[in-house]
Amino acid sequence: MNTMSLACLALAALVGVVAGKADDLGSSEEGREQEFVYLNRYKRASDSQDKCTYTFIVPQQRVTGAICVNSKEPEIQLENRVHKQELELLNNELLKQKRQIESLQQLVEVDGGIVNEVKLLRKESRNMNSRVTQLYMQLLHEIIRKRDNALELSQLENKILNQTADMLQLANKYKDLEHKYQHLATLANNQSTIIAQLEEHCQRMPVARPIPQPPPPPPPNRVYQPPTYNRIINQISTNEIQSDQNLKVLPPTLPTMPTVTGIPTSTDKPSGPWRDCLQALEDGHDTSSIYLVKPENTNRLMQVWCDQRHDPGGWTVIQRRLDGSVNFFRNWETYKQGFGNIDGEYWLGLENIYWLTNQANYKLLVTMEDWSGRKVFAEYASFRLEPENEYYKLRLGRYNGNAGDSFTWHNGKQFTTLDRDHDVYAGNCAHYQKGGWWYNACAHSNLNGVWYRGGHYRSRYQDGVYWAEFRGGSYSLKKVVMMIRPNPNTFH
């Protein structure tokens, strides 16, 4: 039941009371008039709040008697009670409306937060779309770059395959040349043996009879050495590899064969072969020349240059640099067997040096001369090499001389060439120093380096013929000789 219905019921009850009172008071017109007026006023007051659908017609009667004032109190109390009920109902409705408004406000606040979150999500979605687009472009770029790299890698692999095929062909050619070289070396050794036998036969001939002249030996053969790798040769210019800047490099050769006139043929002196140059000197051969040497405990014959004039004589020359006519940038096998011209620039060979230095205690003498004519020397009380399975490791004794000690730093190190890296450096020292040596990391001396004319040289690396304690690493010496001699009083 709503408020309007309650008001109508209250009004009907009030009309009934008033009607009863009117009957009791009589049909006084005055009374009826007042009641009618009262009812009409109440009706208007009710109409100001809620419209009522009931219409009451009250006859007007004049009140002739006295009207009791207290007769109106029940109606006033009823009116007040009706007003209080209406107020309570209105308050309840207001509270309900207030609660609904508060719930609506909460919903609005929640909806507003949701709207803000939706806006943020839309903004993040736009950002994510931009990021995804950027990542897609980067991925596309990486795919294109990898495809290009794959093409380049494929081209590089084809080049490597081609280079590998070329290397195989060169390796086969190298093997053929090595067989030819071994054959020629065998012929040379046979010729040396024949010459020695002819000399012994000539010495046993009677003096009165004419001594038949042995057939002249064939001219020295220029044996072609095995080539180094094309890859390395292409990296280094011809003028840079062990050549004089102003001279044309001669073709590499093995140590030349001695002629008959190169060895003393006097009948009162032994003609060799000797153990070393000191034995030749003790047998009366005091001329510096080429001699035939055969170390003990081996059948190996070798031709060496004996320096019999340098005090006290008996020196076997194992290395000589003087004009830059021989290329010293060689591979392992060439350094092992030896190369060059015995009466000029040459290297005796690691295998020959090993057999010489292991038959007795030898000392090493290194003589040097710069381009201003200054001569110095460095002497080591002992010098020998380990066998090839130790990569010809260097063993040196104590130093003496005026050149400074630039060789002890290499003591105990193995020999290194372009194709055999045995140094302690991360790279190959032979590649930077342009030679073969007992490199450490890399060198304080490099006597097998590039022979530069004039002393001071310009190069990307220190690759000249230098002795660091004498004129430094950027000065290429004019003349260098390494020679050995027995030293029975050696202590290491």
The 3-class SS string of the chain reads CCHHHHHHHHHHHHHHHHHHHHHHHCCEHHHHHHHHHHHHHHHHHHHHHCCCCCCCCCCCCECCCCCCHHHHHHHHHHHHHHHHHHHHHHHHHHHHHHHHHHHHHHHHHHHHHHHHHHHHHHHHHHHHHHHHHHHHHHHHHHHHHHHHHHHHHHHHHHHHHHHHHHHHHHHHHHHHHHHHHHHHHHHHHHHHHHHHHHHHHHHHCCCCCCCCCCCCCCCCCCCCCCCCCHHHHHHCCHHHCCCCCCCCCCCCCCCCCCCHHHCCCCCCCCCCCECCHHHHHHCCCCCCEEEEECCCCCCCCEEEEEECCCCCCCEEEEEEECCCCCCCCCCHHHHHHCEECCCCCEECCHHHHHHHHCCCCEEEEEEEECCCCCEEEEEECCEEECCHHHCCCEEECCEEECCCCCCHHHCCCCCEECCECCCCCCCCHHHHHCCCECCCCCCCEECCCECCCCCECCCCCCCECEECCEECCCECCCEEEEEEEECCCCCC
Determine which of 29-33, 376-380, 473-477, 479-483 has the lowest per-residue pLDDT on average.
29-33
Which of the pair, 174 or 332, is modelled with greater confidence? Answer: 332
pLDDT given for residue 439 in this prediction? 96
pLDDT given for residue 5 in this prediction? 53
pLDDT given for residue 261 in this prediction? 35
pLDDT given for residue 267 in this prediction? 44
- Residue range 243-289, pLDDT digits in tens: 444 343 344 444 544 433 334 444 456 777 899 999 999 999 999 99
pLDDT band for position 331 (cuts 50, 70, 90) = very high
pLDDT band for position 197 (cuts 50, 70, 90) = confident
Domain boundaries, the chain: 89-194, 277-486
Note if the pTM is more than 0.75.
Answer: no
Which of the pair, 110 or 455, is modelled with greater confidence? Answer: 455
- Residue range 367-415, pLDDT digits in tens: 999 999 999 999 999 999 999 999 999 999 999 999 999 999 999 999 9
Calculate the average pLDDT of the chain: 78
pLDDT given for residue 233 in this prediction? 37
User: CATH assignment of 277-486?
Assistant: 3.90.215.10
Which of the pair, 115 or 222, is modelled with greater confidence? Answer: 115
